[in-house]
Homo-oligomer: A and B are copies of this chain.
Amino acid sequence: MNESTSIEEMIEVLRKAPSVALFSHVSPDGDCIGSMLAIGMALEKMGKEVSFYNPDPVPRNLAFLPGSSRVRQELPNLVEKTLMFVDCTDLHRVNLTMAEISGESTILNLDHHISNEYFGHFNWVDAHASASGEVAIALIGYLGVEVDRDIATNLYTAIVTDTGCFQYSNTTANTHRLTAELLDKGIDLAIIHHNIFDQKPLAQIKLLQSALNGLEIHAEGQLATMTLSLEDFQKSGAEQGLSEGLVNHARSIAGVEVAVLLREAGVQEIKVGLRSNLWLNVNEIAAQFGGGGHQRAAGCSLKLSLSEAKQILITAIEEALEIGRNH
Protein backbone atom coordinates (compact mmCIF):
# COMPACT_ATOMS: atom_id res chain seq x y z
CA MET A 1 0.00 0.00 0.00
CA ASN A 2 3.00 2.28 -0.44
CA GLU A 3 1.81 5.16 -2.57
CA SER A 4 5.05 6.18 -4.16
CA THR A 5 5.98 2.76 -5.49
CA SER A 6 2.48 1.80 -6.50
CA ILE A 7 2.70 2.94 -10.12
CA GLU A 8 5.50 0.59 -11.14
CA GLU A 9 4.03 -2.24 -9.07
CA MET A 10 0.60 -1.69 -10.63
CA ILE A 11 2.14 -1.93 -14.11
CA GLU A 12 3.91 -5.12 -13.04
CA VAL A 13 0.68 -6.67 -11.71
CA LEU A 14 -1.14 -5.79 -14.94
CA ARG A 15 1.66 -7.21 -17.11
CA LYS A 16 1.44 -10.54 -15.29
CA ALA A 17 -2.36 -10.81 -14.99
CA PRO A 18 -3.98 -13.11 -17.58
CA SER A 19 -7.32 -11.38 -16.99
CA VAL A 20 -8.48 -8.12 -15.45
CA ALA A 21 -11.96 -7.17 -14.22
CA LEU A 22 -12.57 -3.41 -14.53
CA PHE A 23 -15.01 -1.44 -12.36
CA SER A 24 -16.43 2.09 -12.58
CA HIS A 25 -18.75 4.06 -10.32
CA VAL A 26 -22.55 4.40 -9.95
CA SER A 27 -24.29 7.18 -11.88
CA PRO A 28 -21.57 6.81 -14.50
CA ASP A 29 -20.11 9.80 -16.34
CA GLY A 30 -17.85 10.21 -19.36
CA ASP A 31 -14.68 10.02 -17.28
CA CYS A 32 -15.33 6.73 -15.49
CA ILE A 33 -16.78 4.94 -18.56
CA GLY A 34 -14.27 6.41 -21.04
CA SER A 35 -11.24 5.72 -18.83
CA MET A 36 -12.38 2.19 -17.98
CA LEU A 37 -13.00 1.30 -21.64
CA ALA A 38 -9.68 2.81 -22.76
CA ILE A 39 -7.70 0.86 -20.16
CA GLY A 40 -9.59 -2.35 -20.94
CA MET A 41 -9.02 -2.01 -24.68
CA ALA A 42 -5.31 -1.41 -24.06
CA LEU A 43 -5.12 -4.54 -21.87
CA GLU A 44 -6.86 -6.55 -24.60
CA LYS A 45 -4.21 -5.40 -27.05
CA MET A 46 -1.75 -7.06 -24.66
CA GLY A 47 -3.70 -10.32 -25.04
CA LYS A 48 -5.53 -10.21 -21.71
CA GLU A 49 -9.09 -11.21 -20.98
CA VAL A 50 -11.04 -8.17 -19.83
CA SER A 51 -14.51 -7.50 -18.36
CA PHE A 52 -16.23 -4.17 -17.71
CA TYR A 53 -18.62 -3.55 -14.83
CA ASN A 54 -20.83 -0.65 -13.81
CA PRO A 55 -23.73 -0.87 -11.32
CA ASP A 56 -25.84 1.31 -13.67
CA PRO A 57 -26.47 1.20 -17.42
CA VAL A 58 -24.25 3.38 -19.62
CA PRO A 59 -26.10 6.70 -20.13
CA ARG A 60 -27.61 7.28 -23.56
CA ASN A 61 -25.16 10.08 -24.41
CA LEU A 62 -22.19 7.73 -23.88
CA ALA A 63 -23.59 4.76 -25.81
CA PHE A 64 -21.54 5.82 -28.86
CA LEU A 65 -18.24 5.07 -27.06
CA PRO A 66 -16.30 2.20 -28.65
CA GLY A 67 -16.81 -0.84 -26.40
CA SER A 68 -19.68 0.67 -24.38
CA SER A 69 -22.03 -2.23 -25.24
CA ARG A 70 -19.67 -4.53 -23.32
CA VAL A 71 -20.25 -2.77 -19.98
CA ARG A 72 -22.22 -5.21 -17.80
CA GLN A 73 -24.43 -4.63 -14.76
CA GLU A 74 -23.74 -8.19 -13.50
CA LEU A 75 -20.82 -8.48 -11.09
CA PRO A 76 -17.90 -10.54 -12.40
CA ASN A 77 -16.14 -13.22 -10.38
CA LEU A 78 -14.47 -11.48 -7.41
CA VAL A 79 -12.29 -14.44 -6.33
CA GLU A 80 -8.58 -14.79 -7.12
CA LYS A 81 -8.72 -12.07 -9.73
CA THR A 82 -7.05 -8.82 -10.64
CA LEU A 83 -9.70 -6.17 -9.99
CA MET A 84 -9.12 -2.64 -11.25
CA PHE A 85 -11.26 0.25 -10.00
CA VAL A 86 -11.32 3.34 -12.21
CA ASP A 87 -12.38 6.84 -11.05
CA CYS A 88 -13.74 5.48 -7.74
CA THR A 89 -12.87 7.19 -4.44
CA ASP A 90 -13.91 4.06 -2.50
CA LEU A 91 -15.66 0.71 -2.91
CA HIS A 92 -19.03 2.21 -1.98
CA ARG A 93 -18.93 4.01 -5.32
CA VAL A 94 -19.31 0.57 -6.92
CA ASN A 95 -21.87 -0.62 -4.33
CA LEU A 96 -19.27 -3.06 -2.94
CA THR A 97 -17.65 -3.70 0.44
CA MET A 98 -14.24 -5.19 1.17
CA ALA A 99 -15.99 -8.26 2.66
CA GLU A 100 -17.38 -9.15 -0.77
CA ILE A 101 -13.95 -9.33 -2.32
CA SER A 102 -11.85 -12.47 -1.87
CA GLY A 103 -8.63 -12.01 0.09
CA GLU A 104 -6.78 -13.62 -2.80
CA SER A 105 -7.83 -10.94 -5.27
CA THR A 106 -5.54 -8.04 -6.10
CA ILE A 107 -7.17 -4.62 -5.94
CA LEU A 108 -5.86 -1.85 -8.22
CA ASN A 109 -7.15 1.68 -7.66
CA LEU A 110 -6.68 4.34 -10.37
CA ASP A 111 -8.25 7.74 -9.73
CA HIS A 112 -7.86 11.52 -9.68
CA HIS A 113 -10.10 12.50 -6.75
CA ILE A 114 -8.28 14.08 -3.81
CA SER A 115 -10.76 12.33 -1.49
CA ASN A 116 -9.69 8.86 -2.71
CA GLU A 117 -9.43 6.43 0.19
CA TYR A 118 -6.48 4.38 -1.07
CA PHE A 119 -8.49 1.19 -0.70
CA GLY A 120 -6.42 -0.80 -3.22
CA HIS A 121 -3.38 -3.00 -2.80
CA PHE A 122 -1.88 -0.68 -5.36
CA ASN A 123 -3.13 2.88 -5.68
CA TRP A 124 -2.43 5.43 -8.40
CA VAL A 125 -4.17 8.65 -7.44
CA ASP A 126 -3.19 11.86 -9.21
CA ALA A 127 -5.22 14.74 -7.77
CA HIS A 128 -3.58 17.14 -10.22
CA ALA A 129 -5.11 15.29 -13.16
CA SER A 130 -8.28 16.92 -14.55
CA ALA A 131 -9.80 13.48 -15.12
CA SER A 132 -9.02 9.82 -14.51
CA GLY A 133 -8.60 9.89 -18.29
CA GLU A 134 -5.28 11.70 -17.81
CA VAL A 135 -4.08 8.99 -15.42
CA ALA A 136 -5.30 6.33 -17.86
CA ILE A 137 -3.18 7.90 -20.62
CA ALA A 138 -0.11 7.65 -18.41
CA LEU A 139 -0.94 4.04 -17.49
CA ILE A 140 -1.38 3.00 -21.13
CA GLY A 141 1.91 4.70 -21.94
CA TYR A 142 3.70 2.72 -19.18
CA LEU A 143 2.10 -0.48 -20.49
CA GLY A 144 3.66 0.32 -23.87
CA VAL A 145 0.38 0.05 -25.76
CA GLU A 146 -0.16 2.38 -28.70
CA VAL A 147 -3.30 4.52 -28.37
CA ASP A 148 -5.51 3.86 -31.40
CA ARG A 149 -8.53 5.88 -32.59
CA ASP A 150 -11.06 3.98 -30.46
CA ILE A 151 -8.98 4.25 -27.30
CA ALA A 152 -8.39 7.95 -28.06
CA THR A 153 -12.15 8.52 -28.47
CA ASN A 154 -12.73 7.06 -25.00
CA LEU A 155 -9.90 9.06 -23.43
CA TYR A 156 -10.96 12.33 -25.10
CA THR A 157 -14.52 11.80 -23.83
CA ALA A 158 -13.18 11.23 -20.31
CA ILE A 159 -11.30 14.54 -20.39
CA VAL A 160 -13.84 16.71 -22.22
CA THR A 161 -16.66 15.70 -19.84
CA ASP A 162 -14.70 16.06 -16.58
CA THR A 163 -13.30 19.47 -17.60
CA GLY A 164 -16.61 20.81 -18.94
CA CYS A 165 -15.03 21.35 -22.36
CA PHE A 166 -11.74 22.54 -20.85
CA GLN A 167 -13.56 25.28 -18.92
CA TYR A 168 -13.30 24.09 -15.31
CA SER A 169 -10.36 25.16 -13.22
CA ASN A 170 -9.03 21.57 -13.09
CA THR A 171 -7.90 22.09 -16.71
CA THR A 172 -4.10 22.43 -16.96
CA ALA A 173 -1.51 22.93 -19.68
CA ASN A 174 -0.90 19.20 -19.46
CA THR A 175 -4.60 18.52 -20.10
CA HIS A 176 -4.30 20.38 -23.41
CA ARG A 177 -1.02 18.66 -24.30
CA LEU A 178 -2.50 15.21 -23.72
CA THR A 179 -5.61 16.20 -25.66
CA ALA A 180 -3.47 17.28 -28.61
CA GLU A 181 -2.00 13.78 -28.75
CA LEU A 182 -5.50 12.28 -28.76
CA LEU A 183 -6.51 14.53 -31.67
CA ASP A 184 -3.42 13.29 -33.53
CA LYS A 185 -5.11 9.87 -33.58
CA GLY A 186 -7.80 11.20 -35.91
CA ILE A 187 -10.78 11.19 -33.54
CA ASP A 188 -14.00 12.76 -34.88
CA LEU A 189 -14.73 15.79 -32.70
CA ALA A 190 -18.07 16.56 -34.39
CA ILE A 191 -19.47 13.08 -33.73
CA ILE A 192 -18.10 12.96 -30.17
CA HIS A 193 -19.45 16.38 -29.17
CA HIS A 194 -22.82 15.73 -30.81
CA ASN A 195 -23.23 12.48 -28.91
CA ILE A 196 -22.11 13.84 -25.54
CA PHE A 197 -23.77 17.25 -25.55
CA ASP A 198 -26.73 17.06 -27.94
CA GLN A 199 -28.70 14.22 -26.34
CA LYS A 200 -30.79 16.22 -23.89
CA PRO A 201 -34.08 14.55 -22.99
CA LEU A 202 -37.03 16.66 -24.14
CA ALA A 203 -38.25 16.53 -20.52
CA GLN A 204 -35.08 18.40 -19.47
CA ILE A 205 -35.75 21.22 -21.94
CA LYS A 206 -39.31 21.44 -20.63
CA LEU A 207 -37.93 21.59 -17.10
CA LEU A 208 -35.65 24.46 -18.16
CA GLN A 209 -38.74 26.18 -19.54
CA SER A 210 -40.50 25.84 -16.16
CA ALA A 211 -37.42 27.03 -14.31
CA LEU A 212 -37.10 30.12 -16.54
CA ASN A 213 -40.79 30.90 -16.14
CA GLY A 214 -40.10 31.18 -12.40
CA LEU A 215 -36.89 33.22 -12.74
CA GLU A 216 -36.65 36.13 -10.29
CA ILE A 217 -33.95 38.75 -9.90
CA HIS A 218 -33.20 40.19 -6.45
CA ALA A 219 -30.55 42.23 -4.64
CA GLU A 220 -30.22 44.78 -7.42
CA GLY A 221 -29.44 42.11 -9.99
CA GLN A 222 -26.88 40.20 -7.95
CA LEU A 223 -29.16 37.30 -7.02
CA ALA A 224 -31.16 35.14 -9.43
CA THR A 225 -33.60 32.49 -8.17
CA MET A 226 -35.48 29.74 -9.98
CA THR A 227 -37.98 27.25 -8.59
CA LEU A 228 -39.29 23.87 -9.71
CA SER A 229 -42.45 22.53 -8.06
CA LEU A 230 -43.58 18.91 -7.97
CA GLU A 231 -46.13 19.97 -10.57
CA ASP A 232 -43.34 21.25 -12.85
CA PHE A 233 -41.66 17.84 -12.70
CA GLN A 234 -44.95 16.08 -13.41
CA LYS A 235 -45.86 18.39 -16.32
CA SER A 236 -42.47 18.01 -17.97
CA GLY A 237 -42.22 14.29 -17.29
CA ALA A 238 -38.75 14.85 -15.84
CA GLU A 239 -37.14 13.05 -12.93
CA GLN A 240 -35.56 15.18 -10.19
CA GLY A 241 -32.05 14.39 -11.46
CA LEU A 242 -32.69 16.18 -14.75
CA SER A 243 -32.68 19.51 -12.91
CA GLU A 244 -28.92 19.23 -12.48
CA GLY A 245 -27.07 22.06 -14.17
CA LEU A 246 -30.14 24.22 -14.80
CA VAL A 247 -29.00 26.67 -12.09
CA ASN A 248 -26.17 27.70 -14.42
CA HIS A 249 -28.64 29.46 -16.71
CA ALA A 250 -29.39 31.82 -13.81
CA ARG A 251 -25.70 32.07 -12.86
CA SER A 252 -24.71 33.17 -16.38
CA ILE A 253 -26.82 36.35 -16.36
CA ALA A 254 -24.72 39.52 -16.45
CA GLY A 255 -24.32 41.07 -13.00
CA VAL A 256 -25.46 37.98 -11.12
CA GLU A 257 -23.15 36.86 -8.32
CA VAL A 258 -25.37 34.16 -6.76
CA ALA A 259 -27.84 31.81 -8.40
CA VAL A 260 -30.24 29.53 -6.55
CA LEU A 261 -32.41 26.68 -7.79
CA LEU A 262 -35.04 25.43 -5.32
CA ARG A 263 -36.77 22.21 -6.23
CA GLU A 264 -39.61 20.45 -4.51
CA ALA A 265 -38.46 16.85 -4.02
CA GLY A 266 -41.52 16.04 -1.91
CA VAL A 267 -44.10 17.73 0.29
CA GLN A 268 -42.25 20.14 2.63
CA GLU A 269 -38.99 18.83 1.21
CA ILE A 270 -37.05 21.47 -0.69
CA LYS A 271 -33.62 20.78 -2.20
CA VAL A 272 -31.56 23.92 -2.75
CA GLY A 273 -28.66 24.30 -5.17
CA LEU A 274 -26.46 27.39 -4.74
CA ARG A 275 -23.83 28.74 -7.16
CA SER A 276 -21.70 31.87 -6.97
CA ASN A 277 -19.47 33.47 -9.58
CA LEU A 278 -16.65 35.48 -8.08
CA TRP A 279 -16.65 36.08 -4.35
CA LEU A 280 -19.66 35.03 -2.27
CA ASN A 281 -19.03 31.89 -0.20
CA VAL A 282 -22.20 29.85 -0.77
CA ASN A 283 -20.82 27.08 1.44
CA GLU A 284 -21.45 29.44 4.38
CA ILE A 285 -25.01 30.11 3.20
CA ALA A 286 -25.73 26.39 2.88
CA ALA A 287 -24.18 25.74 6.30
CA GLN A 288 -26.74 28.09 7.91
CA PHE A 289 -29.36 25.54 6.87
CA GLY A 290 -27.44 22.39 7.70
CA GLY A 291 -26.00 21.93 4.22
CA GLY A 292 -22.55 22.38 2.72
CA GLY A 293 -20.32 22.02 -0.29
CA HIS A 294 -17.72 24.35 -1.77
CA GLN A 295 -17.25 28.13 -1.89
CA ARG A 296 -18.78 28.44 -5.37
CA ALA A 297 -21.16 25.45 -5.33
CA ALA A 298 -23.15 24.20 -2.35
CA GLY A 299 -26.53 22.84 -1.37
CA CYS A 300 -28.96 22.25 1.48
CA SER A 301 -32.40 20.82 2.23
CA LEU A 302 -35.30 22.61 3.91
CA LYS A 303 -38.47 21.17 5.43
CA LEU A 304 -40.66 24.02 4.25
CA SER A 305 -42.95 24.92 1.39
CA LEU A 306 -41.33 26.09 -1.85
CA SER A 307 -42.32 29.73 -1.31
CA GLU A 308 -41.24 29.76 2.36
CA ALA A 309 -37.89 28.22 1.48
CA LYS A 310 -37.36 30.73 -1.31
CA GLN A 311 -38.07 33.69 0.97
CA ILE A 312 -35.69 32.44 3.66
CA LEU A 313 -32.91 31.90 1.15
CA ILE A 314 -33.40 35.30 -0.45
CA THR A 315 -33.19 36.99 2.97
CA ALA A 316 -30.03 35.08 3.94
CA ILE A 317 -28.31 35.78 0.63
CA GLU A 318 -29.28 39.45 0.53
CA GLU A 319 -27.74 39.79 3.98
CA ALA A 320 -24.54 38.03 2.92
CA LEU A 321 -24.28 40.19 -0.20
CA GLU A 322 -24.80 43.30 1.95
CA ILE A 323 -22.08 42.28 4.41
CA GLY A 324 -19.71 41.37 1.57
CA ARG A 325 -20.22 44.70 -0.15
CA ASN A 326 -19.34 46.58 3.02
CA HIS A 327 -16.02 44.84 3.44
Contacts and interface: CB of A to CB of B under 8 A. Distances in A.
A205 B249 contact: yes
A281 to B, nearest CB: 15
A173 B184 contact: yes
Interface stretch (A88-96, A120-128, A196-204, A261-269): A196-204
11 contacts: A165-B166, A165-B167, A167-B197, A168-B189, A173-B180, A173-B181, A176-B177, A176-B183, A194-B277, A199-B252, A205-B249
Interface of A: 60-61, 160, 165-169, 171-177, 179-181, 183-184, 189-190, 193-194, 197-202, 205-206, 208-209, 212-213, 215, 217, 221, 249-254, 256, 277-278
Contact of A209 (B183, B193, B215): B215
A193 B167 contact: yes
A174 B193 CA distance: 19
Contacts of A206: 212, 215
A180 B174 contact: yes
Instruction: Count this chain's copies in the assembly.
Output: 2
A85 B163 CA distance: 35
A183 to B, nearest CB: 4
**A interface SS class:** helix
B208 A212 contact: yes
A278 B202 contact: no
A193 B163 CA distance: 13
Given A166-B166, A173-B180, A176-B179, A253 B205 contact: yes
Contacts of A201: 253-254
8 closest Cβ pairs, A-B complex: A176-B180, A173-B183, A209-B212, A165-B165, A173-B180, A199-B254, A198-B252, A176-B176
Contacts of A250: 205
A171 B215 CA distance: 35
A128 to B, nearest CB: 13
Contacts of A169: 189-190
A177 B183 CA distance: 11
A254 B60 contact: yes
A216 to B, nearest CB: 11
A248 to B, nearest CB: 9
Interface centre among A209, A249, A250 (most CB of B within 10 A): A209
A260 to B, nearest CB: 15
